[in-house]
Structure 1
C-alpha cells in the first residue's frame, strides 16, 4: 500500500509581502497612505480605512494602549468599562454587579448615570452633560483623559443619527489632529477589534440625537431596562458621557 507523499511546505512570505498586511487586512501593492503610522499597525489600519491623514503627518496624535474586548450579548457599555480595567473584572462580572444594583436586565446600559456609578467604583470619574464637540472635551482628551460615550452605530459601527435606535457604547482612548486642524477621536468598542477613527463632530452629533429606544433586532423577545425619563431624560444617554482620568495603561504618542 503506497503512502502519499507529504504536502509541500507552505511558501514563506517575503518582508515586502508581510509589510502589505497591516493588522489583518491585505493592503494594495501601490499603497502610499498613512506611512507615518507604519510603526503602529492598528492606528495605520484605522486611519487607512477612514482615509485620515493619508499623506500628511498629523499635528498631534496619542492614545492609550488598551486592548480590545468583544462583547457577548447586549453588553457594549460593560465591555467598554472592562477594557478600561484590562479585563479584570470581566464584562460578565460587571454584569452580575449591575443586575444586583438594578441598573440592567440583560447587560444593556441605557443610562449613562448608571454606567458612571459603576465606573466610579473603579476610577475617579465625571458624569459629563453637554455637547461633546467643545473646547472642554478636547482639552480633557489632550491631557490624557478617556471617555465612555453612547452613540448611534451605523452598519460599519461608525457614528450615525438614527434617533437612538442603534444605541451603542464606545471607549474613546485617544485623539488625532490632522494637518487641517480637524479633531478626531480614536475609539474601541465591543463589536470589532479594530481601532476606530472618527471625527469628534460626527460622534458629538450622534451622541446628541439619542432620544428614543427601539427594540434591538437581535433581541426581539428581551425586556430592556430604561431609566426614568428615557434615553433623553436626566439619567439617559442624550448629550451624556463619562470622563475618566488616572489610567495606568501606557500612552502612545506619535511625534
Structure 2
C-alpha cells in the first residue's frame, strides 16, 4: 500500500517487440478462467503445421548371407568386439579354400588335380583355455540339432564330471565321453597316430562329411608345429583337399573359377576317389578350424600327423601360472599323444 506522498506508479516498460497500444483501452469481456481470448488466436489455417514425411524404412535384412561368428566372452572384451567388426561375415569353407589356393598357389602341386570335400561350420572365438570344448561345439553343429549345444553347457558338463577345471581338455578319451553324452553322437577314439592304417580311416571319415577332433601343438599362425606339447591346442577338421592324378568321372564338377579344382555334386551318386598313398608328399590337406580364428586353414596332413604324435609334456609356463588344470594319469602323453576323435551322427554307418 503506497503513502499519499508516493508518486503514482508508472506502467512497466513494454517488452521489446510488443507494440504499445495507443489511446484508451477498453477492458476485455469477462472470460472463464484459463480460456484464451479468441481474438488472440491465429487463423485456423495457421494452426496446422505441415506434417513431415515419414522416415524412410530401414533396409531389409540380408537373406541367405553368412551369419556373424559366435564369440564367447564378447561382452567382456573390447578387443574382440573391434576385431569382429573389422572381420566381416564368417567365410564359407569353399570360399576360404579358394582364397588360399589363389594366394598360396605355389604351395600346391601343379601336377595334380584337386578334389575338395568340405562342410561349413559356424565360428566361435574362445576365451581362456577352452580350445577343445570350442572345437567340440563347432563339430556339434554337424551332429546335433540346428539349435546346437551352448558352449556354457559343454563347459559345465565337463566341470561337473571332473574332465576340466576351467575349460582345458587334456584327454581325448574324456572328450569322447563328453561328446557322446552332450551331443548324442558316436565317438571313436583313434590311437596310434594319424599315419599308417589310421590314415585311410581318417580320410574316408572326412570324405563322408563327418568331423574330426585333433589335438596338436599350435604355432604362432595357428598351424601345427612341434613343441613337445607345450603349445597343446585343439582343432576340428570338417573336410579334406585331395590331390589326384585323375578325378573320377561320376559325381564331380570343376570349379568355374579355378581350373583343376573339383567339387562333389550335391545329392548325386559319385564314385569314391582313390586316396593318395602315404608316401605322396603334399597331396593331402586337412580343412581345419580352431578357436582363435574364424577362418579355415589348409594343413598338410603329414604336418598334422607329426605334431599330434609328439604331444608328450605339460607346458612349464602353465605349471607355474598358479591355475588348476585337470591332467589325466600319465600326463599329456597318455591323454593326447597320437590320439584323435572321429565323430559321426548316432545313426551313421560310418
Q: TM-score when scaled to structure 2?
A: 0.55
Specify the alignment match of 1:79 in structure 2: 134
Partner of 2:299: 198
- TM-score, scaled relative to structure 1: 0.74
Secondary structure in 1 matching 2:202: helix
Structure 2 runs not aligned, ≥5 long? 1-85, 142-146, 246-275, 277-282
Task: Give the whole-Å Cα distance in 2 for the aligned partners of 1:225 and 1:110.
Answer: 7
Q: Does 1:107 align with 2:167?
A: yes
Contact 1:106 1:224 in 2 (8 A): yes
Q: CA deviation at 1:247?
A: 8.8
Task: Return the offset for 1:66.
Answer: 1.1
Q: Report the RMSD for the aligned CA atoms in angstroms.
A: 2.9
- Is the partner of 1:139 in helix, strand or coil? helix
- Structure 1 pair 50/105, CA: closer, same or farther in 2 (3 Å)? farther
Counterpart of 2:295 in 1: which secondary structure? strand
**Corresponding residue to 2:95 among 30, 37, 41:** 41
Equivalent residues in 2 for 1:233-244, closer than 5 Å:
233=334, 236-244=335-343
1:63-212 alignment to 2 at 5 Å?
63-86=118-141, 88-121=148-181, 122=183, 123-133=185-195, 134-179=199-244, 181=276, 182-212=283-313
- 2:187 and 2:342 in contact (8 A); partners too: yes
Change (3 A) 1:49 1:215: farther
Question: Cα–Cα, structure 1 residues 55 and 108, in superposed 2: closer, same or farther, change >3 Å?
Answer: same
Q: Greater RCO between the two (CA within 8 Å, min separation 6)?
A: 1
Larger Rg: 2
Give the match's secondary structure for 1:198: strand
Deviations 1:197-230 (A, max 9, x none): 001110000000000110456x923121101111
C-alpha distance in structure 2 between counterparts of 1:70 and 1:24, whole Å: 12
The total of aligned residue pairs comes to 212
Question: Does the 8 Å contact 1:170/1:189 carry over to 2?
Answer: yes
For 1:99, what is the secondary structure of its paired residue?
A: helix
Find the counterpart in structure 2 of residue 226 from structure 1. Answer: 327
